[in-house]
Structure formats: C-alpha cells, structure tokens
Structure 1
Amino acid sequence: MMQSPEGTLTPAQFEILQLLWDAEAGLSAAEIWEAIRESRDVSRTTISNLVDRLEKRNWLVRSKEEGVFRYVPSVDREATEGKLAAEFVGDFFNGSAANIVLSLLGSNQISSAELKRLKAILDESKSRKK
C-alpha cells in the first residue's frame, strides 16, 4: 500500500507536480528541468533536489525505464489542489472560504466569466444538498 504524501508543497514543488500531471508517461528529472527553465532561470541541481525531496516524501513515484528514472505523481491533481486550497484558507482566512471569495471580489480579481463559473458551481452544489 502506498503511503500518503508528507508535508505541504512549496510553489516550486507544486510547479513540478503540474508538469507531471500533464505528462502522459511521466518525466525524468532532466525533462522537468528543461520544461521549467523555458520560463525561468533555474539550475539542474535545484530541480533534481526538489524531485528527490518530493519522491522521499511520497508525492512522486519513481520507476526506471531504459536506464532513466521517470517520475509520476502519487496523488491526483484535484485532491492536491483541494488540500492546498484548504491549507491556504485555514492559514490566511480563518478557515472561511467565504472570506477568501469576498476578498477576491473586493479586489476586482475575479472576471465576469469566473463569476459565472462560480455561480454555476454554487448552484450545482446547492442542488446536490437538497
């Protein structure tokens, strides 16, 4: 049985997981580094260390294919994003999802398209609870 991931994620670690969720067959540490360095300057050693830590903390699973270690996430995107969102709301908004939404609305950070999407999600959630 696979162990649950330990600890929380840094933005850089989450970036690695996002790349891996989008990759069909996983990626090597070198491929992860190449993808990330397209958008910002980062050393190969830094990425290797991040990947190694993620694997040791059970966020990634490693397999060897044709002499190269490939990594895949051990958790799905939705569960991880939900965990991170809950931690963020707990740490910064006293555990209140309403407070974060009100904060975003007050700062004009939500587009009209996002508002429509939120309304649809709320309506769907409300109908499931009936």
Structure 2
Amino acid sequence: MEAPKERWSGSDAGPVVRPYALTRGRTRPRGPAFDLVAILVATSRPVDRRTWLSREQRRLLDLCRRPSTPADLASRTDLPLRVVEILLDDLYRYGLIEELPQAVQSQETGRPDPTILMRLLDELRRL
C-alpha cells in the first residue's frame, strides 16, 4: 500500500525564495557589518532611477524612515539577520541610509551609559 503524499500549503511550505537569492548570492556584506544595536535611519537622498532596489530593500528603506536597529528590521521583515545585514550594506553604499552615532559611555564617569543599556535591554526583550 502506498503512503499518502503530503501536501504543504501556505506558510507550511516555507519560504518561496531562498535567502541567497535575495542577496544575489552574497553571504557577507561588502564592508563591515552593522552592530546589532546600531541605529540606522534613512537619509533624505532620493533613490536614483538607475539604482535598482529589490522589494525587500525598499521595505527596509521604508522601515528606516524611523530610526531602527538591524535586529529590529530582521524581526519586522521576518528575514534572517544575515540577509538583512547584506541588504542594509547595499542601502548604505547607495547613500540611502546612515548610522547614527551613539554615545555608549557617559562623559562624566567613563562607564557605560545606563540609558543606552536600558534601551539595549528593551530591544532584546522585544526579540
């Protein structure tokens, strides 16, 4: 007797496009990867009509209209963090996003700033 064949439908089937297809085969960013808690924001620079952006890159750019971290973006887009890092690297190289500087240490004490640590803890809890 032949076993019945399983049929997957909807989200059970898994991703339609493999991660390497989203990154055009790249497995690493071309430059240094962003820190997980680096705050990224979209610049006011318009997208050049010669610059081709994937649907995922457009979504990331839209999400970066408000300051976001790579960890947040990966969570919101439901993409693997490494894929998000590579796509963000492209957006950074096109000048469409920038990293906001963060003061990690307090100027007075030279110790880690409690405000930054609390934000980090909040971001980790969201994950």
TM-score band, normalised by shorter chain: 0.3 to 0.5
TM-score scaled to structure 1, two decimals? 0.39
**Bigger helix fraction:** 1
More contact order relative to length (CA 8 Å, sep ≥ 6) = 2
